[in-house]
Structure 1
């Protein structure tokens, strides 16, 4: 599903007094990103995460689905130290995704601290070494949104913020505002989750590389189109990594307002290695599946 994406990260420079071509504000979507998203994906944003186990950190990564680039989430095991937002961002900036189709442009910073105000504003203060890579303007904006999604997800899943209110993130660099991330995005403004940045469809469980019990296996995921049509396929993977179609079918994402877009695919699988692929079908052209997600896992 996901192709290799060019290396990326954030580069910081000093403040400039007047707008320059290719420079945007973290709190204001650029025309290029807005147009790109609206052309290839629904405009909804992912709902805030619900409370999870204390040692599970929701972390967003960047990945490609055909010709579009989106954010995808994994839940990662973390030690119960630091506050939940800080430790989720540490994973995002210092570790690799479980799924090799994803990547992060962020670098491991020397300093990272976070705090939450009573007005549902998360402040992230990170050192400049977190941004030591080069990316274009579009990837720069996605990287900032990757941080916003991860910070808000961690706060919500830990029950630290009111999910009924809009959550904003302010990013400081070495304690200061107005730094230029990636040489394209000016930081410091309160920034919310931007609509259309998350993948239109992604698989939540099983996670990449995990092992599950045989028999009735449940594949859980989420679509950004409540009630949308999905196509799924399970392939067997042999020792030489050759993939053979094993099962397939169709499903609909939930239209329930309590679980919008959620889906569960129950399949019976014996011991072996598998890959599952879930595609979101284009309502105007059901024969096309422009966006999809895959997961590799084993059955004991």
Structure 2
């Protein structure tokens, strides 16, 4: 005779069913955990690929560099001396199938030498305009001086050149340094603008370093005018918000016809939508001469993308050297 009375048939299956349900639940959770881990790994891999793709794109020249905008600029005048505490900083930017130099202004926040402050900003911060970029790294050491013969000497540590870039981007990055140093010196009134200004770059106190593995720094350099953007919008700056109109547009450009085209398009989510206004503006210096341009607009409140470009005379409708800025107009208090 059994020591325990048999359980009623109806209750006997309860613990067994509960045990099976618990095992099935555990199995499903393990499957879900594996899926979640796999999904996270895929997500991280894709995210890494996206970031790497962006970095690789900046580090290399476009596959084709036969843009009609190439080498339009043959002379790049120095910035003029100013009493305002601003730092001129040059960046790289893609336009059509080439990479050019563009300039932004930053407030001077330190008592550093203006050249050192501008170069440190160039190497350590990001441009305001997301269309611009830089491949310099923050240096552990940076200094600059000017001789009586208008020669600027920049001494920078080798860690500033840590990025891997191709020869074209290396050339433009070195030109970026030359333009930033000379612009800062000129705006601070530290050089004689009537004489040629050269820039000598030392790396850890020595000459002859191969910048980014491509550009030998073995002799003083001057501004390479062919690398200046054929069109760039100086004002408004990227993301500017206007509460008072008109919206004043100023910039620098060159054109085979002596005129530039512009367009103001409505913008949503940071992308251009339908065009709202368009027109042309003359460059007072005339055809094939780098000069300044300006015009004013009175659009209704809203978000806009402003574009200024060369309308290719050889191919009507083709935009060359396009520069864009996103702006917001808050209200129409017209002065």
Same fold (TM over 0.5): yes
CA distance in 2, matches of 1:275, 1:38: 24
Give me the CA root mean square deviation: 2.4
Shift of 1:280: 1.4
Query: Retained in 2: the 8 A contact 1:171–1:177?
Result: yes
CA distance in 2, matches of 1:143, 1:219: 28
Q: Do the aligned partners of residues 131 and 270 (structure 1) sit closer, same or farther apart at CA in structure 2, a change above 3 Å counting? A: same
Matched with 1:118 is 148
Alignment of 1:177-192 (within 5 A): 177-192=207-222
> Structure 1 runs of 4+ off > 4 angstroms?
35-39, 239-242
CA distance in 2, matches of 1:224, 1:251: 11
Match of 1:220 among 250, 256, 264: 250
Matched with 2:312 is 282
Alignment of 1:223-238 (within 5 A): 223-225=253-255, 228-238=258-268
Q: What's the secondary structure of 1:99's corresponding residue? A: coil
Matched with 1:6 is 57
Shift of 1:246: 1.1
| Greater C-alpha Rg | 2
Question: CA deviation digits over 1:135-186, x for unaligned, max 9?
Answer: 1111110100000011011111111111111111000001000011111111
Matched with 2:36 is none
Query: Retained in 2: the 8 A contact 1:226–1:260?
Result: no
Matched with 1:57 is 87
Query: Retained in 2: the 8 A contact 1:225–1:261?
Result: no
Shift of 1:284: 3.8
Shift of 1:74: 0.5
Q: Do the aligned partners of residues 182 and 37 (structure 1) sit closer, same or farther apart at CA in structure 2, a change above 3 Å counting? A: farther
Match of 2:179 among 135, 141, 149: 149
Shift of 1:73: 0.6
Shift of 1:214: 3.1
CA distance in 2, matches of 1:285, 1:241: 25
Structure (1/2) with the larger helix percentage: 2
Matched with 1:103 is 133
Match of 1:128 among 144, 148, 158: 158
Q: Which has the higher contact order (CA 8 A, sep 6+)?
A: 1
Q: What's the secondary structure of 1:129's corresponding residue? A: helix
TM-score (norm: length of structure 2): 0.75
Question: CA deviation digits over 1:207-226, x for unaligned, max 9?
Answer: 11122233211100001348
Question: CA deviation digits over 1:107-156, x for unaligned, max 9?
Answer: 00010000011111110000011011101111110100000011011111
Shift of 1:59: 0.5
CA distance in 1, matches of 2:81, 2:240: 22
Shift of 1:255: 1.2
Matched with 1:193 is 223
CA distance in 1, matches of 2:257, 2:138: 40
Matched with 2:321 is 291
Query: Retained in 1: the 8 A contact 2:69–2:230?
Result: no
Shift of 1:38: 8.4
Q: Do the aligned partners of residues 114 and 40 (structure 1) sit closer, same or farther apart at CA in structure 2, a change above 3 Å counting? A: same
The answer on 1:253 being equivalent to 2:283 is yes
Q: What's the secondary structure of 2:128's corresponding residue? A: coil
Matched with 1:31 is none
Tell me how many residue pairs correspond in the alignment: 271
Q: Do the aligned partners of residues 125 and 36 (structure 1) sit closer, same or farther apart at CA in structure 2, a change above 3 Å counting? A: farther
Unaligned runs of 5+ in 2: 1-53, 331-335
Q: What's the secondary structure of 2:184's corresponding residue? A: helix
Unaligned runs of 5+ in 1: 10-34
